[in-house]
Amino acid sequence: MTAITRINAVKDQTAILSARNLKAWYGESQALHGIDLDIHSGETVALLGRNGAGKTTTLKSITGLMDRRSGEIKIGGKDISRLPLHHIARHGLGFVPEERGIFSGLTVQENLLLPPIVAEGGHTVEEIYALFPNLKERRHSQGTSLSGGEQQMLAIARILRTGIRILLLDEPTEGLAPVIVDRIGDVIIALRKRGITIILVEQNFRFAQRVAERYYVIEHGQVLDQFSAAELPGRQDWLSDVLGV
């Protein structure tokens, strides 16, 4: 074993979530061409890349939402690649999709109580209302009456009740006003302090910079590079080129 493979082996052991050679297809069209990820317990990681690079497909592949997918996905060292979606949640993984999925005919509280608890240690309703006071105020309002920001917070809040330890967020700030984006950032930082591992897909680079400790850059369904927040200043020009911003 060379020094580098030994370092990688040590890193792999500590990864709470890892993906190896993840490939995925929409029909005959291949969207992922062998993604490798190692996400460590408690870190917040952002997936960056241009439109169509494969970020959302990566999250959907991890959560078992792609019909056609190959490769290996492990949570806490256990292979979950072949488990159905509802079993994956029992391994502590929660996904908040871009469309948020709030039930418009239910109240805030009913939406909050809907997903089943899958593991011990989830947030209580009181803890959730302390983290999201605006949801407490609006607990009897119908889902239809919520703003985009409130919907995003409710989508995050109701997953936290289930006891998940790894949260996948797809474009959490999409379409939200700057003041609400700041609030979502506060929530993500609060969750990190509680030890939740977060992987987020984000087009808003300024937001990603505020919350992420590490980045993966994805292009054409492959990982182009990964680096820490501390390494970001040295990568800024390269990143602007890759992201086209």
Chain residues binding ligand ATP by CB under 6 A are 26, 29, 31, 49, 51-57, 201, 203
Alpha helices (H) in 161-214, listed in sequence order = 178-193, 205-211
- Under the phi-then-psi rule, with left for phi > 0, alpha for psi from -120 to 50, and beta for the rest, what region is 115? beta
Amino acid 42 reads G
Q: Smallest distance from the beta carbon of 172 to ligand ATP, in angstroms?
A: 13
Residues 6+ apart with CB under 8 A from 65: 85, 95
Given phi > 0 = left and psi -120 to 50 = alpha, else beta, which region is 195? left
Shortest approach of ligand ATP to residue 54 CB, angstroms?
Answer: 4
Of 56 and 70, the one with the shorter C-beta distance to ligand ATP is 56
Contact 95, 86 (CB under 8 A): no
Q: Which is nearer to ligand ATP, 48 or 191 (CB)?
A: 48
Q: What is the Cα–Cα distance from 94 to 96, expressed in whole angstroms?
A: 7
- Of 62 and 196, which has the nearer Cβ to ligand ATP? 62
Closest CA to 169 of 65, 18, 55: 55
Cβ-based neighbour number of residue 192 at 10 Å: 18
Query: Token pair for residue 127?
Result: 């803890």
Q: Which is nearer to ligand ATP, 55 or 100 (CB)?
A: 55
- Comparison of 59 and 160: residue with beta carbon closer to ligand ATP: 59
CB of 132 to ligand ATP, least distance (A): 26
- How does strand 214-219 pair with strand 44-48? parallel
Q: Which is nearer to ligand ATP, 33 or 210 (CB)?
A: 33
| Shortest distance in whole angstroms from residue 212 CB to ligand ATP | 16
Minimum distance from residue 61 beta carbon to ligand ATP (Å): 9
CB 184, min distance to ligand ATP, A: 17
